[in-house]
Amino acid sequence: MVKTALVTGASAGFGKAIAEKLTADGYKVIGAARRWDRLQVLRDELGKDCFFPLQMDVSKTQEIDQALASLPQDWQAVDLLVNNAGLALGLDKAYEADFKDWQTMIQTNIIGLTYLTHQILPQMVERNAGLIINLGSTAGTVPYPGGNIYGASKAFVKQFSLNLRADLFGTQVRVTNIEPGLCEGTEFSNVRFKGDNQRVEQLYQGAHAIRPQDIAETVAWISRQPEHLNINRIEIMPVSQSFGPQPVHRD
């Protein structure tokens, strides 16, 4: 039986690579994103029988409801939910940050992810089968200056994923949190630095960071595991990234 995956943030970066990989693995993929034109291009590339474009802004719960209600009957049963959509805005200290940026991150990374999960989860429980893969971040574990709300939102995703596992005990529904470190080849830093491409280039210059295909391969690997096995969380960093000493301020 052909399984159906719903991938958010599918118009670029991780989401696009995940959609491409899952369709290659035989999934029917619902690709959800705000940018309709990009979704149409992806449908043309992957084929209308394999890819269904779904225009949806996950930061708006009403749009989630409308988008899910618009799915054709044969695309409504979601076997794999990949909560990929998310963003970081700014790298300012908390006392200098724009609170509107904080609101946008909370609305997308937390409210959007949890609301969509809440809408999809009952059908998985009813079928006693399904897999949810959330895209967290190492920022949810390792704090850094300027990470404030972004890091806190990814810490939420990590704990939410674990608590879902606790609630789903006794069912065959599985939950995984993928926590990438430094990544390139996406729009993540362009969005974070609000189009400052020079700053983005400096960040990734010579870093040999994780790429979208690496995350897509990870999602595909998790999806292939036998149904009695749950991958709770996977933390991934490029070899070029590691841990540093804790700073000590001296007067």
Question: For 8, phi and psi rounded to 5 degrees?
Answer: -90, 160
Q: Are 22 and 219 in contact (CB under 8 A)?
A: yes
Q: Would residue 150 show up in a list of annotated catalytic residues for this protein?
A: yes
Q: Which residues contact 78 (CB under 8 A, 6 or more apart)?
A: 4, 5, 6, 30, 120, 123, 124, 130
Catalytic hit among 27, 115, 144, 150: 150
- Alpha-carbon distance of 62 to 124, in angstroms, equals 21
Q: C-alpha angle with apex 10: 122 to 108, nearest 5 degrees?
A: 65
173-180 sheet: strands from edge to edge: 51-55, 28-33, 4-8, 80-83, 130-135, 173-180, 233-236
- Alpha-carbon distance of 246 to 251, in angstroms, equals 17
Q: Which residues are catalytic?
A: 150
